[in-house]
């Protein structure tokens, strides 16, 4: 298996050269209409995945050349973070044209080829749509600024006349959410709303142009064969027209810019569009909502297919916390009939190997600190255990690029290379999210560990020394590597009907141990306790995240067992 993977990487693009561009039909290998219920989805941060043209930035050419690697890993779909035309003020989450690809990443034709080639290999492409805001360089915003106060062009945004800042909404990036414009004659002009950076003005979802535009964007990409859409900041689109202040902890549905009831009708219309295409095109919401009952309402049958389950990431590494989160998640999803998702990380949070090696093992969106003490060896062990634990749970599974290699967070990026606006919004006090966005190491040698060809421009974010052994090449040769573990787990998951669609039952276990059965015969046991735990008699070990000690499962390890 590992040799195949190696060959897949080396074979690179040649294997794919013969593939033809697909039509707007999904290939036979991707016919399953319920694929999104149990898919393994690999998140590609395109800027940092693989650099095909040697300019130091990842691109579609690089991604296409590595599709065989992803096929060998066994994933069902990739989710690509924004690849559109953009000034990259927020890593591409500031889109200036939703129908064009950023020239650093490639062209629309290459995007179409990628989608088609992926399908030939059984890999669907999920794109990232950003409907809450766009770039200040988008034609609409430039027109709005040029047209001036009171113009119809400004009605597509939240422009407000006000002497002082219109309200005190706090950005998820920290700080204010309003910027004042300057009139042509130099006098102070209207204010506009931007929940994130000033380069990301929020659009006004009460405006029919806005609704129509994003529906057309969905169709544009569905027409090109994408298998689904990840919806960025999905809970934020609708604002209280009064722009009222946030007072205390607003009651459910009464927050002025989060989780407003009117959102449901937006997503019902998106679902109708998705359903009008063949091949089960899936809608996946990025919904950071503390209220799980409200959260699952977005996954009623006529709305989103799934949404990221961030609760799991926000728990401490303990049996009790993990068990509570699994219980709560499964119980909440059940009545709406939606599958849950399991997410260990993404491009916004600290890498699991680092996070789980810290005293506070929970993710901290946008609040990372410099110099937090970390035990990477512990974090790696726990990440291996967490990978098997999450891969055994019912629902779909997300893997953020590089987690299958066990990459740690890069914490020493030189200040002058930091790119994330979050760092700057914090006045330089927080590192921001670049540490989980460092380009992947593919080979042991080479100026950028094979991210680009040897001698190509250095990677856009510097890779640390010492990543040779974390490279794909090194891990393909090591049967105990994180990559080997992920590959085996995904393979077993694919082959096991129990894991794909079997029921879920808790098993009684000792304190500090989480144990459950899937379907008829697959058992998953994670040991959080500081004593090794005996495995049930008569079980056959299918996979284990760490070596057994005298036949017992050590601390911070997970085993998959089958009845003999």
Residue placing its CB nearer to ligand GLC in the complex, 231 or 533: 231
Contact string (CB under 6 A) for ligand GLC, positions 435-474, x = contact: ----------------------------------------
Instruction: List the interface residues with ligand GLC, window 150-209 (CB under 6 A).
Output: 196
User: Residue 133 phi/psi, 5° resolution?
Assistant: -150, 165
Phi-psi map region of 262: left, alpha, beta (phi>0 left; psi -120 to 50 alpha): alpha
How far apart CA 96 and CA 88 sit, in angstroms, is: 9
Residue with tokens 């389950």: 309
Q: How far is the CB of 233 from ligand GLC (least distance, A)?
A: 5
Residue placing its CB nearer to ligand GLC in the complex, 132 or 487: 132
Residue placing its CB nearer to ligand GLC in the complex, 255 or 347: 347
Of 348, 403, 434, 546, which lies in the binding site for ligand GLC, with binding defined by CB under 6 A? 348
Residue placing its CB nearer to ligand GLC in the complex, 286 or 473: 286
Residue placing its CB nearer to ligand GLC in the complex, 93 or 178: 93
Q: How far is the CB of 306 from ligand GLC (least distance, A)?
A: 16
First-to-last CA distance in the chain?
A: 24
Residue 21's nearest CA partner among 106, 133, 114 is: 114
Residue placing its CB nearer to ligand GLC in the complex, 232 or 411: 232
Instruction: List the interface residues with ligand GLC, window 121-150 (CB under 6 A).
Output: 130
Q: How far is the CB of 346 from ligand GLC (least distance, A)?
A: 7
Residue 432 CA, distance from chain mean position: 17
Q: How far is the CB of 127 from ligand GLC (least distance, A)?
A: 14
How far apart CA 548 and CA 13 sit, in angstroms, is: 40
Q: How far is the CB of 399 from ligand GLC (least distance, A)?
A: 16
Stretch (H or E) spanning 342 = strand 341-343
Q: How far is the CB of 130 from ligand GLC (least distance, A)?
A: 6
Q: How far is the CB of 232 from ligand GLC (least distance, A)?
A: 5
Residue placing its CB nearer to ligand GLC in the complex, 37 or 347: 347
How far apart CA 306 and CA 404 sit, in angstroms, is: 23
Residue placing its CB nearer to ligand GLC in the complex, 78 or 485: 78
Question: Would you call 305 helix, strand, or coil by DSSP?
Answer: coil
Environment class of 512 (CB within 10 Å of its CB; exposed 0-12, middle 13-18, buried 19+): middle
Contacts with ligand GLC: how many residues (CB under 6 A)?
A: 9
Sheet holding 513-518, edge to edge: 504-506, 513-518, 522-527, 557-563, 539-544
Q: How far is the CB of 299 from ligand GLC (least distance, A)?
A: 19
Q: How far is the CB of 349 from ligand GLC (least distance, A)?
A: 9
Q: How far is the CB of 7 from ligand GLC (least distance, A)?
A: 34
Residue 401's nearest CA partner among 364, 356, 428, 439 is: 439
β-pairing verdict for 557-563 and 522-527: antiparallel
How far apart CA 441 and CA 462 sit, in angstroms, is: 11
Q: Does 222 bind ligand GLC (CB under 6 A)?
A: no
Q: How far is the CB of 418 from ligand GLC (least distance, A)?
A: 15
How far apart CA 192 and CA 160 sit, in angstroms, is: 6
What angle, 0 to 180 degrees and rounded to 10, lies between the N-to-C axes of helices 482-495 and 2-11?
100
Residue placing its CB nearer to ligand GLC in the complex, 430 or 493: 430
Contact string (CB under 6 A) for ligand GLC, positions 292-331, x = contact: ----------------------------------------
How far apart CA 93 and CA 200 sit, in angstroms, is: 8
- DSSP character string of 470-488: GSHHHHHT-TTSHHHHHHH
Instruction: List the interface residues with ligand GLC, window 268-287 (CB under 6 A).
Output: 286
Residue 335 CA, distance from chain mean position: 25
Contact string (CB under 6 A) for ligand GLC, positions 88-117, x = contact: --x--x------------------------
Contact string (CB under 6 A) for ligand GLC, positions 21-60, x = contact: ----------------------------------------
Residue placing its CB nearer to ligand GLC in the complex, 5 or 203: 203
Residue placing its CB nearer to ligand GLC in the complex, 72 or 438: 438
Longest alpha-carbon distance in the chain: 83
Instruction: List the interface residues with ligand GLC, window 54-93 (CB under 6 A).
Output: 90, 93
Residue placing its CB nearer to ligand GLC in the complex, 130 or 561: 130
Residue nearest to ligand GLC (CB): 93
Six token digits for residue 500 = 């794909």
Q: How far is the CB of 129 from ligand GLC (least distance, A)?
A: 11
Question: Rounded to the nearest 10 degrees, how much is the dihedral formed by the CA atoms of 103, 109, 112, 118?
Answer: -80
Q: How far is the CB of 42 from ligand GLC (least distance, A)?
A: 16
Stretch (H or E) spanning 182 = strand 178-182
Residue placing its CB nearer to ligand GLC in the complex, 134 or 525: 134
Instruction: List the interface residues with ligand GLC, window 233-262 (CB under 6 A).
Output: 233
Kindly report the number of other CB atoms within 10 A of residue 46's CB atom: 27
Question: Would you call 125 helix, strand, or coil by DSSP?
Answer: strand
Q: Which residues bind ligand GLC (CB under 6 A)?
A: 90, 93, 130, 196, 232-233, 286, 347-348
């Amino acid at each position: 298996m590992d040799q195949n993977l190696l060959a897949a990487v080396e074979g690179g693009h040649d294997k794919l050269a013969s593939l033809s561009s697909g039509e707007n039909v999904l290939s036979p290998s991707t016919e399953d209409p319920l694929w999104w219920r149990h898919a393994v989805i690999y998140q590609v941060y395109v800027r940092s995945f693989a650099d095909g043209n040697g300019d130091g930035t990842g691109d579609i050419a690089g991604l296409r050349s590595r599709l065989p690697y992803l096929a060998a890993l066994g994933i069902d779909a990739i989710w690509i973070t924004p690849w559109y035309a953009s000034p990259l003020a927020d890593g591409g989450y500031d889109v200036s044209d939703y129908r064009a690809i950023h020239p650093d990443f490639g062209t629309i034709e290459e995007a179409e080829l990628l989608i088609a080639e992926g399908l030939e290999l059984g890999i669907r492409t999920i794109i990232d749509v950003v409907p809450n805001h766009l770039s200040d360089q988008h034609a609409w915003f430039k027109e709005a600024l040029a047209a001036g106060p009171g113009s119809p062009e400004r009605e597509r945004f939240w422009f407000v006349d006000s002497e002082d800042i219109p309200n005190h909404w706090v950005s998820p990036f920290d700080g204010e959410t309003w910027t004042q414009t300057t009139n042509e004659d130099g006098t102070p002009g209207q204010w506009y709303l931007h929940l994130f950076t000033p380069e990301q003005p929020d659009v006004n979802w009460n405006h029919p142009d806005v609704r129509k535009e994003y529906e057309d964007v969905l169709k544009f990409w569905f027409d090109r064969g994408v298998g689904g859409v990840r919806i960025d900041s999905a809970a934020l689109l609708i604002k209280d027209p009064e722009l009222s202040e946030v007072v205390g902890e607003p009651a459910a549905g009464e927050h002025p810019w989060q989780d407003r009831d009117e959102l449901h009708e937006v997503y019902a219309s998106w679902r109708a569009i998705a359903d009008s295409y063949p091949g089960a095109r899936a809608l996946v919401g990025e919904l950071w909502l503390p209220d799980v009952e409200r959260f699952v309402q977005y996954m009623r049958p006529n709305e989103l297919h799934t949404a990221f389950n961030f609760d799991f990431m926000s728990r401490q590494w303990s049996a009790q916390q993990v068990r509570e989160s699994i219980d709560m998640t499964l119980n909440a999803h059940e009545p709406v009939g939606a599958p849950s998702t399991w997410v260990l990380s993404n491009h916004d949070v600290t890498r699991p190997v680092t996070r789980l090696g810290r005293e506070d093992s929970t993710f901290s969106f946008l609040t990372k600190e410099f110099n937090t003490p970390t035990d990477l060896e512990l974090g790696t062990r726990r990440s291996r255990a967490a990978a098997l634990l999450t891969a055994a749970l019912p629902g779909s599974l997300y893997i953020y690029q590089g987690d299958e290699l066990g990459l740690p967070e890069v914490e020493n990026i030189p200040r002058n290379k930091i790119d994330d606006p979050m760092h700057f919004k914090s006045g330089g006090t927080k590192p921001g999210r670049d540490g989980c966005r460092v380009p992947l190491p593919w080979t042991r040698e080479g100026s950028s560990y094979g991210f680009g060809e040897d001698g190509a421009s250095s990677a856009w974010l510097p890779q640390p020394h010492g990543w040779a052994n974390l490279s794909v090449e090194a891990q393909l040769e090591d049967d105990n590597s994180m990559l080997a573990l992920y590959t085996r787990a995904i393979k077993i998951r694919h082959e096991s009907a129990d894991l794909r669609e079997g029921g879920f039952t808790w098993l009684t276990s000792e304190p500090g141990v989480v144990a459950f059965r899937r379907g008829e015969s697959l058992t998953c046991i994670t040991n959080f306790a500081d004593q090794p735990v005996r495995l049930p008699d008569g079980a056959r070990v299918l996979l284990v995240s760490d070596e057994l000690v005298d036949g017992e499962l050590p601390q911070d390890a997970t085993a998959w067992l089958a009845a003999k």
